[in-house]
A and B are shown apart, each in its own frame.
Chain A
Amino acid sequence: MHHIRKAEITSPITTLASDTTTRLVPVAGIAGIGCIAGAFLLSPGGFAHFSHAYLVNFCFYATICIGALFFVLIQHLTRAGWSVTVRRIAEIMACCLLPLAVLFLPILIPVMLGSSELYTWNTSRDSLGWAVGDGDMYDLKTVFLSKNFFALRNIIYFAVWSLIAWSLYRWSVRQDETGEKSLTMRMQGFSAPMMLLFVGALVFGAFDWEMSLSPMWFSTMFPVYFFAGCVLSSLATITLVALVLQRSGRVTDEITVEHYHDLAKWTFAFIFFWGYVAFSQFMLIWYANFPEETFWFRFRSEGGWMTVSMILLFGHLFIPFLGMMARTVRRSKTFLLFSSIYLLIMHWVDHYWLIMPQLGASVHPGYNSPTPIPGPPIPELLCFLGIGFVLFASVCLIAGKRSLVARRDPRLHEALNYNNP
């Protein structure tokens, strides 16, 4: 039983690329763009419905990749040893933030052309998009929420994230060949300033993408809520990707049940952290009971949205919290396959719940119009598939023939011999 593994990669296959994936890349790319175009053309609720549905799925995928970038950064920041075998997966996922910058164009271009169907702040003061456009608050907000500044900020976010993600990926891949320890030192050294930039972009990204859908609403807790979802969904995705890769015969020896156990422990913690932040945000607003804050939750508690809110409360918090409490469960690959998919579905519902109730706000502005759940979810599903396909093609290109494990990381030995107490 007591056997110390050498820091060697023993799996027969450690790359993603195969004949199938090479052939799939163009197919997936075209299918992805086709799906997005289809969503645009077939949207039952017109462009407003399409753009909201697109934003839901964009945020769904983007938060996963942002969370993956956080995962990579925090491992370097804490000089973690256990995670070396799964870090490469997160590095590749984080690199998807570059294709996601291109995928942000269907949101940014209409805004630049003056469309206010998604972001109702993109109108003049006199129109009703602002709902309560009045006073000093309005004057300050119009400076911030103007289309040029919005575009500039988003360029900065994606530049920051892509630069960080690609630098860390490139250095890590270079280490596979050279085995330089100085690269690890460099990644650790840069991780602290990178983390600061990363968090700055995350906070304002959360404000811009989702909170500004309701321009006069404000919650300083919102970016934390957004962040909790990012980390939770990325952990679920890393687990899922690792399981799928191992089922396909890749990296079979390197990722052990101990790594899954650790990922699951972290997932468990973030399930609760998400609930803690969600409740804190809700309770402060509910308790203070100011109409200029409570209407946001009122939108989400009427017209069928209460059901979605309750699905989140139980499905995103209580059920997974109790479900993932036991150690045996966290070490079961079968269960983790199920729970990762389940958590990702809940994460999707979370963003649906954040974005979709605002759909009607452009049609019926004002406080007193909670909007019903929109008609058949054709654009939602097509956008989900579309962005998913494009990102799948991107992942295949990014990973290519590179190793799926950091082969010569100085802490590989520690990760391979890692045991949960």
Chain B
Amino acid sequence: MSNETHQDKKLVGVLGQFDSPDALLHACENARQSGIKKMDAYSPFPIHGIEKALGVPRTILPFFVLAVGLSACAAGLGLQWFTNATENWGPWSGYQFKISGKPYFSLPANIPVTFEIIVLSSAFAAFLGMLALNRLPTFANPLHRIARFKRATNDRFFLAIETSEGGLDATSARNKLMEYGATDVEEVWLDQTDHQLPAFLKTFLVLALVLLLLPPVMVFRGQGMTSRQTRLHLNPDMDFQHKFKPQSLGPVASDDPLGFFFEHKRSALAQIPGTVSRNQDDSDSTFLRGIKAGPDSHHTNIKIPVVLASNQEQEALTPAAAPVEPDWVTEFPEQFDVNQENMLLGQKKYDIYCSVCHGYSGEGDGLVNQRASALAINGGTTWTAAKSYHDPEVVKQPVGRIFDTITNGRATMGPYASRLSPADRWAIVLYIKAIQETRANVPPATDVPPEADKNAGAKAE
């Protein structure tokens, strides 16, 4: 071969061909014993003992996977602790959310998530670690330029020995391979141009990059814009679930010939007489219900959530079920401290739960209310507008009444008892009273009495 053909090429090794796995194994063994380190064997199938024969050290991959697995364990637990068990931790704090009545940080409930994170991370670590340790992916291997090497996936066995300047030279490598019983020996030339990206790949990558930029650009463009198109449902089976909400109506009788549903076509059994559900604990009427404890207090205002088949039925029942106005609590209960901390808690919870309808300043101008009212005008829906807290009727309401509204809901407003603890609800009442105070009774800026908050509820009556 002339020098000209090898202008861009470099001799990197010698490849020997063997006819049987045993011959290859022997050759590897001999090569290792004669001190050759840089070599690799190629075979159509795994050969037991080849790693030993080649002198391949045991991989460090298991330790890498173990380290990643243990870190994932810590990260998985930490993630759940941080997101669900911390609150008021500065700008990046988590958000305490009660799930199934379990503690915010509850090991048994956290283990499945932690376990999955460990499994996923370990699998990634094993796969990507394997690629990295094998220096993969590579664009080219000089062995693929050799025609006979294709048989390495079929019926021949190869041993490639690397040559280098100052190390093993090609002639002695060739001689050694022949000595070990190679049936054919060939030089391996590295074509320098092989390591350049092919032109079509460059075009493809640039195109892919441009296309990848499109979604973020579209998201950025869509921000702050209104659209008249219906929402895109990426997970329709999650957005429209085939299920019945608790205590709602089941399907009409013709849809349910087998009678799976409960009496009065309800989707669930009515509360069994004598049982107390989690949110109907009335051991402390003042704190838990906003109604003064008295001989009759536990009879009033116990809502048995029954949704009746039609509005007519509901209306027919309404007069009979019309409750006597209970004896509302007028002062904040003893367990609840009126202080700055609770005021901030109330503000926080108000902004999350209430402001969407009632607006940040309590005018009843929240976004949901605006949208729903607009739809109602067009005749699309029915909607009872969210109340303004500055409405004189509302200002007159005692704290217990507001507490009850949050707990059980009113008109279109749903109950929040399942989402807010009693203390959270009282904090919201406190904040609402403060909002009302900003309009009703603005004190001179100079002398705000220290107990202003404490008196807020009483004054507003």
Contact = CB atoms under 8 A, between A and B. Distances in A.
A287 interface: yes
A287 B109 contact: yes
A286 B48 contact: no
A279 B100 contact: no
A266 B381 CA distance: 63
A2 B24 CA distance: 11
Given A2-B25, A2-B29, A283 B48 contact: no
Contacts of B396: none
B111 interface: yes
A283 B112 contact: yes
Nearest to B28: A2
A2 B49 contact: yes
Interface in B49-81: 49, 51-53, 58, 62, 66
Given A2-B25, A2-B29, A419 B111 contact: no
A2 B62 CA distance: 27
A1 interface: yes
Interface residues of B, number: 20
A2 B22 contact: yes
23 contacts: A1-B29, A1-B52, A1-B53, A2-B22, A2-B25, A2-B29, A2-B49, A2-B53, A279-B108, A283-B108, A283-B111, A283-B112, A286-B108, A287-B100, A287-B102, A289-B101, A327-B62, A417-B48, A419-B48, A419-B49, A421-B46, A421-B48, A421-B51
Contact of B108 (A1, A282, A325, A419): A282
Interface of A: 1-2, 279, 282-283, 286-287, 289, 325, 327, 417, 419, 421
B156 interface: no
Interface in B97-128: 100-102, 108-109, 111-112
A286 B100 CA distance: 11
A287 B111 CA distance: 12
B418 to A, nearest CB: 16
A417 B48 CA distance: 10
A282 B66 CA distance: 26
Nearest to B25: A2
A325 B109 contact: no
B26 interface: yes
Contacts of B109: 283, 287
A289 B278 CA distance: 13
Q: What 5 pairs across the A-B complex have the smallest Cβ distances?
A: A419-B48, A283-B108, A2-B25, A286-B108, A419-B49
Contacts of A325: 66
A18 B357 CA distance: 89
A289 B102 CA distance: 10
A279 B51 CA distance: 39
B20 to A, nearest CB: 12
Contacts of A283: 108-109, 111-112
Nearest to B100: A287
Contacts of B26: 2
Given A2-B53, A287-B109, A419-B48, 5 more contacts: A2-B25, A283-B108, A283-B109, A325-B66, A421-B46
Interface in B17-35: 22, 25-26, 29
